[in-house]
Amino acid sequence: MPGRVIESKWPTGWPSFAQPDSNCKDRHSHDLKKAIISEYGADALCQAWVKTCDALSSVMAQIAEAGTNAVPVFHYDEIIETAKNEKALEDIKATGCCVIRGVIPSEEASQHFEDLTKFIAQNDSVSGWPQESPAIFYLYESPVQLKLRTHPHQLRLQRLLNSLFSDPTLSASEQEAQWEPILYPDALRIRQPGQDFDGLGPHIDGGSLSRWADVEYRRTYDQILSGHPEDYDPYDLTHRRQARPSMFPGGAQCSVLRTFQGWTALTECAPGEGGLMVVPDIHLATAYMMLRPFFKPPSDGDWQDPRKWELDDSAWFPGTYPMDSQLLGPASHPHLRLEETLVHIPTVYPGDTIWWHADMCHAVGVTHNGTRPASVVYIPACPSTPDNKAYIRGHWKDLLAGNPPDDYKYLDGMEDKLVLSTQNERKMVGALPIESISVEGRRALGEGV
Ligand SMILES: [Fe+2]
């Protein structure tokens, strides 16, 4: 794409963004930015920008120093035990991510990996990406995925993770009901040793331009844009639950609200073995991402000093392509110091889970230097908001009929290349009988919701 610049210190294939990396004739972006500047005021935006960049300098230095250790790690038993978990939950909220070990017993998870590879071998119609040697498989309801998603530990943990979010517009009992997990069906990954993968550089899922363009989504970030980033609460659902991340439809969009994105590991994966990388800060990094389009760096090259940056009312939203996730890079988002702060998560073992706030900047490591396949099943945490319930109600019908979930009806989800999936997972060899799933699990998959 024009304007995407590959930097020498950045992994080959991970783009960074220099102006203009998007179509500056795009009147929508131009008008949108001017309208936001007018709505919140230049002074408020400038105050927020300086406060955020100043605070980032020490927080990013701490993350760069800590590296992988900046990601909190807990065991399922200690996090689920109410009497012991207060400090742990504070740590998770402060960083916006965590590894929770032992959610699925290790032997059970390893057996799942064996079963999964056997299931894929038995069903040669299963396709994936890249087409010639898939690492991500277009499977959503295989027996292993259904068993993992509906495992009682998963449901209990997801309920807890959902409860970290508050919704002041609801009563206490309504909020509690909203914590009930919705099991969003997503794909899985089996990445072979030595398999390079540069398709997922630093990005934030849940839309891109929609964060500014959709009024409810933008309201989520009101405190940031109105000059008070210190008051921004990443865990307030008031506006977020009605936001439209996919107002510009595209293959990278997810139709439901996820409180945390998640991976459940089926194999051991150490740093450098093709796993997840995150910027373990949710408060300031989000504020910076939201404010960055409104400022341009000084011509003298002294980008470190936020006071030297000037208001930018051009059409440019750095790394923002409406149908894609929000993309970030060192050139466009320098104060994040991504070369040092995008850290590998710690080694995970079969049955461990990884969770990161839906606004968190993350990436997938380019190289896999290990000796084992790195395999995870994508299992996020999603609350029972009205929109999420509507999605999962539709999913239940698709699940019974064998149809792909709504967000995955097309094999290639980009505009003019749409190819309707004809896959029917109910007809696959070894498909899991739905009646074998627990009542609680079936509810979270959409039955009677
Ligand atoms: Fe992602």
Q: Which amino acid is at 2?
A: P
| CATH numbers and ranges of domains, the chain | 67-208+248-281+323-445 (2.60.120.330)
28 vs 36: CA distance, rounded Å: 12
Tell me the CA–centroid distance for residue 252 and ligand 1, in Å.
Answer: 8
Tell me the CA–centroid distance for residue 216 and ligand 1, in Å.
Answer: 22
Tell me the CA–centroid distance for residue 200 and ligand 1, in Å.
Answer: 7
pLDDT of residue 419: 79
Q: What is each CA distance from 256 to 110, 197, 212, in whole angstroms?
A: 30, 27, 18
Tell me the CA–centroid distance for residue 64 and ligand 1, in Å.
Answer: 21
Q: Which residues of the chain have pLDDT under 50?
A: 1-8, 24, 413
Tell me the CA–centroid distance for residue 361 and ligand 1, in Å.
Answer: 8
221 vs 290: CA distance, rounded Å: 8
Tell me the CA–centroid distance for residue 362 and ligand 1, in Å.
Answer: 6
Please give the full DSSP string across 176-227, using - where no structure is assigned: HHHTS-------EEEE-TT----S--SEE-S-STHHHHSHHHHHHTHHHHTT
User: 387: which 2 tokens?
Assistant: 């929109």
Beta strands at 203-204 and 326-327: parallel, antiparallel or unpaired: antiparallel
Answer yes or no: are the C-beta atoms of 50 and 307 closer than 8 Å.
yes
Q: Which helix (H) or strand (E) element contains residue 99?
A: strand 97-101
Answer yes or no: are the C-beta atoms of 55 and 80 closer than 8 Å.
no
Tell me the CA–centroid distance for residue 5 and ligand 1, in Å.
Answer: 21
Tell me the CA–centroid distance for residue 264 and ligand 1, in Å.
Answer: 14
Tell me the CA–centroid distance for residue 197 and ligand 1, in Å.
Answer: 14
172 vs 157: CA distance, rounded Å: 20
User: 360: which 2 tokens?
Assistant: 């968190």
Tell me the CA–centroid distance for residue 373 and ligand 1, in Å.
Answer: 20
Tell me the CA–centroid distance for residue 44 and ligand 1, in Å.
Answer: 31
Report which of 274, 237, 262 is spatially closest to residue 372, judged by C-alpha positions: 274
Q: Is the dihedral of CA 112, 353, 262, 70 positive or negative?
A: negative
Tell me the CA–centroid distance for residue 363 and ligand 1, in Å.
Answer: 7
Tell me the CA–centroid distance for residue 109 and ligand 1, in Å.
Answer: 23
pLDDT of residue 17: 84
Tell me the CA–centroid distance for residue 356 and ligand 1, in Å.
Answer: 10
442 vs 331: CA distance, rounded Å: 46
Tell me the CA–centroid distance for residue 203 and ligand 1, in Å.
Answer: 6
What pLDDT digit, counting tens, does each position of 269-300 carry? 999 999 999 999 999 999 999 999 999 999 88
Tell me the CA–centroid distance for residue 278 and ligand 1, in Å.
Answer: 10
Tell me the CA–centroid distance for residue 130 and ligand 1, in Å.
Answer: 16
Tell me the CA–centroid distance for residue 185 and ligand 1, in Å.
Answer: 15
Tell me the CA–centroid distance for residue 246 and ligand 1, in Å.
Answer: 14
pLDDT of residue 1: 35
320 vs 32: CA distance, rounded Å: 13
Please give the full DSSP string across 301-313, using - where no structure is assigned: S-TT-GGG-EE--
pLDDT of residue 415: 53
Tell me the CA–centroid distance for residue 204 and ligand 1, in Å.
Answer: 6
Tell me the CA–centroid distance for residue 364 and ligand 1, in Å.
Answer: 8
Tell me the CA–centroid distance for residue 262 and ligand 1, in Å.
Answer: 10
Tell me the CA–centroid distance for residue 359 and ligand 1, in Å.
Answer: 10
103 vs 148: CA distance, rounded Å: 10
Tell me the CA–centroid distance for residue 228 and ligand 1, in Å.
Answer: 28
Tell me the CA–centroid distance for residue 305 and ligand 1, in Å.
Answer: 30
User: 8: which 2 tokens?
Assistant: 């020498």
Tell me the CA–centroid distance for residue 135 and ligand 1, in Å.
Answer: 15
Tell me the CA–centroid distance for residue 14 and ligand 1, in Å.
Answer: 14
49 vs 307: CA distance, rounded Å: 8
Helices (H) and strands (E) counted in the chain, each on its own, are 15, 17
Tell me the CA–centroid distance for residue 376 and ligand 1, in Å.
Answer: 13
| Length in residues, the chain | 449
139 vs 404: CA distance, rounded Å: 8
212 vs 233: CA distance, rounded Å: 17
SS3 335: helix
Count other C-beta atoms under 10 Å from residue 231's C-beta.
10
Tell me the CA–centroid distance for residue 201 and ligand 1, in Å.
Answer: 9
Which DSSP category does 402 fall into? T
Indicate the burial class of 309 (C-beta count within 10 angstroms; 0-12, 13-18, 19 or more): buried
User: 203: which 2 tokens?
Assistant: 């990005």
Q: Is the dihedral of CA 83, 86, 91, 94 positive or negative?
A: positive
Tell me the CA–centroid distance for residue 257 and ligand 1, in Å.
Answer: 14
Tell me the CA–centroid distance for residue 169 and ligand 1, in Å.
Answer: 29
